[in-house]
Amino acid sequence: MRVIVSITIALQVACNSNPESCKITCTEDTECPNGLTCGDLGRCTAGELCTEGTCEAATFLGCIDDATARFCNSDGTGVAGNECGGFGCNPIAARCNECSPDQLACVSGDLTTCSDEGLIASTETCTLQCAEPTGQSAARCRRIVPVWIPEACDVVATEAELLIDVATEIDTNNDLICTGGVVAQPSGPEICIVRYRKITLGASVSVVGSRVVAFVADQALDVDGVLDVGARASVSGPGVSGGTSGGVSATGGGGGAGFRQVGGKGGSFGVGGGVGGTIVDPLASPILSGGLRAASNSVVIELGDRVPHGGGGGGAALLVSCTGAVTVTGTIDAGGGGGTGGGRKTNLQGSPFLGGAGGGSGGYVVLQGAVVVVTGGLFSNGGGGGGGCNCSAGEAGQDGAVAGVGGAGGAGVAAGAQGGIGGIGTVGPTAGTNTSTSGAAGGGGGSVGRFQVYTAEGSAPVLNPTVAQPPFEPNLTLPTR
């Protein structure tokens, strides 16, 4: 903003009768005859101030010094000196500068970019106010400091925009995808930062790989399509640690993975089924990872065994806007995987049977921004347990659904027992069904995952999802800098 202080220069003497004085227009002294000089009002003068209708009101007349300009006054009868607001007088452009050339500045709380000609080239509205320059740092909009990747927002992204408007698969194991680098976590999965100034996920985006995916935008991050970080059967979503959750059984079903809820217990035959996995609080650990995968239901593996694999855990995803809003109008799916059905333990006739494996838990999706707005659907439901089978192979449990039901347990086959249903919303997973015959028991269902929101202090999120299974965790706040 230019601050103008008007300083009226006192009138000297009226034009005398010299016909050459105050009659000839000029821009410099060489244009004036007989030793006259070019005066402030663009007239040749012998030293007096030419005042009568000799300039157009408010016309720039020149620079008094680097900070002050001369203008014709409002009625065209004199000269006014104007301070140029600290931005300097520009004799070439014949005006005061609007801003400091080639600089960023905070103006009325917003960030302005100044051209090399001293004009405001653009203005960015700062959601978190504007940070004044300090030391070697230029002015900038304040940014959040994201949890797990605190330095991700410190430097403006080099890539302008990521717009996905066709179905796309992203593999976090591909370093080229990680435009913001890869962050290592001690004893945990790496984080692949997909870094752009603006990100729009406008179509179906499926994420795979061993690394956590972190979409980080300087400004807007919009999920208008479908973001899928869920598990597929025994294959976990992105960023799931190598450990397992839930117990196994020699003859019963395997326990479902725990996370926000206790996993479903495996069904029993002869001896007890596998215990369900315990509740896990992700905030109790500095490591960011996805949901939990269920254990594969085998106590001893022998040559020729068919091992029922536990359902994979739903993946981990970070959605970050450094200075603006994370907006979800589409769908996020972080469901757990269904467990494999049970069956004959070995290829030998008459050998014992293994129960179905437990379902995996839903994943962990975290939204962090100056503002967070959710009006779409979010699903992180547990996977169903595998069904038992007095045969070679039972039916697998279903993956956590993007719907109003949990992942169904696999059906029992040939005197086998039904697998447990995966957790959904606030309803916990069910246990695998017991069996009193030689057929194998069902695996337990997996727990739901978690949705977490962080916003800058003083900024409450707008959470009006069409569906949120499970509900959001309590909102947390972030520092800014």
* Those residues with Cβ within 8 angstroms of residue 85's Cβ, 6 or more apart along the chain or in another chain: 1, 2, 3, 4, 96
- Residue 227 pairs in a beta bridge with 205, 332
Contact 431, 419 (CB under 8 A): no
Q: How far is CA 292 from the centre of its chain?
A: 23
Q: What is the pLDDT of residue 348?
A: 54
In this prediction, residue 300 carries a pLDDT of: 61
The residue behind tokens 């016309």 is: 59
Half-sphere exposure of 409 (CA within 13 A, CB side): 40
Q: Give the rounded distance of the alpha carbon of 94 from its chain centre.
A: 45
The span from the CA of 300 to the CA of 133, in Å, is 65
Compute the distance between CA of residue 410 and CA of residue 340 in angstroms, rounded to an integer: 8
Residues 104 and 139 sit within 8 Å (Cβ to Cβ): yes
HSE of 143, CA atoms in CB hemisphere, 13 A = 23
> pLDDT digit string (tens) for 339-388?
999 887 765 555 577 899 999 999 999 999 999 999 999 999 999 999 99
What stretches in the chain show pLDDT beneath 50? 1-18
User: What is the rounded CA–CA span in Å between residue 54 and residue 44?
Assistant: 11
The identity of residue 37, as a single letter, is T
469: closest CA among 314, 324, 351? 314
Tell me the CA distances in angstroms from 345 to 65, 104, 250, 350, 360, one per residue in order.
93, 70, 9, 10, 22
Q: What's residue 12's pLDDT?
A: 35
**Which pLDDT score, from 0 to 100, does residue 153 have?**
96
pLDDT at site 347: 57
Q: Give the CA dihedral 192, 313, 199, 460, nearest 10 degrees.
A: -110
Q: Do residues 221 and 156 make contact, with C-beta atoms less than 8 angstroms apart?
A: no
User: Which pair of tokens denotes residue 381?
Assistant: 């439901």
Contact 151, 184 (CB under 8 A): no
| CB atoms closer than 10 angstroms to residue 401 | 21
* Gyration radius of the chain's alpha carbons: 35
pLDDT tens-digit map of 32-89 = 888 888 877 777 888 877 765 557 788 887 787 888 888 887 877 777 778 888 889 9
C-alpha distances out from residue 376 to 1, 60, 328, 329, 330, Å: 41, 56, 6, 4, 5
Q: In Å, how far are 83, 336, 480 from 113, measured between CA atoms?
A: 21, 47, 22
- Whether the CA torsion 319, 190, 358, 170 is positive or negative: it is positive
CA distances from 237 to 285, 380, 477 (A): 20, 11, 27
Q: Which residue bears the tokens 């994943």?
A: 363
Query: The tokens 């029992």 sit on which residue?
Result: 412
For residue 138, the tally of other CB atoms under 10 A from its CB is 12
The predicted pLDDT at position 86 comes to 83
Q: Where are the beta strands (DSSP E) in 331-405?
A: 331-333, 343-344, 353-354, 364-374, 377-379
